[in-house]
Amino acid sequence: KQEVTQIPAALSVPEGENLVLNCSFTDSAIYNLQWFRQDPGKGLTSLLLIQSSQREQTSGRLNASLDKSSGRSTLYIAASQPGDSATYLCAVRGGETSGSRLTFGEGTQLTVNP
C-alpha cells in the first residue's frame, strides 16, 4: 500500500525567505506526483504535476523535483510572500494496481510572516 509522508508538518518563516517542503512515498511505481495548495474554505489547487518520466517542473517562484527511485519530491518556494501561507499537499498517482486514485500526504502548513 502506498504511503506518503510530508516533512515538516508545519513551518513558519519570515517574508522573503526561500524554503523547501519535503515529500516521500514508499512505492516508486508511480505515474505522477502533484503538489496542491489548500486554503481554508476552498478546494485544492493544483500547483505542479511531475510525470514519472520527468525530473522537475517549474511555475513562477515554485519548483518541484522528483526522484522516483528514492521515493522523494521537494517543493521549493523562492522569495516567500504572506500570500503563500496555506497548507501544501503532496499526492502521488500510483501504478497499474492503484488505478487512478491519488494518495495524499498529511500536508505541510506554511505560515509566511510579514
Partner 1 sequence: GAGVSQSPRYKVTKRGQDVALRCDPISGHVSLYWYRQALGQGPEFLTYFNYEAQQDKSGLPNDRFSAERPEGSISTLTIQRTEQRDSAMYRCASSLLAGGPGETQYFGPGTRLLVL
46 touches partner 1 by CB under 8 A? yes
Which residue from 1, 14, 83, 100 is in contact with partner 1, where contact means CB under 8 A?
Answer: 100
Which residue's CB is nearer to partner 1, number 18 or number 101? 101
Give dist(CA 27, CA 12) in Å, integer: 30
Give dist(CA 35, CA 21) in Å, integer: 10
- Annotate 24-49 with b (16+ C-beta within 10 A) or e (fewer): bbebeebebbbbbbbeeeeeeeebbb
For the chain, what's the residue count? 114
Looking only at residues 11 through 40 of this chain, which bind partner 1 when binding is defined by CB under 8 A? 31-32, 34, 36
Which residue's CB is nearer to partner 1, number 80 or number 105? 105
| Residues forming the site for partner 1 (CB under 8 A) | 4, 31-32, 34, 36, 41-46, 49, 51-53, 89, 91, 93, 99-107
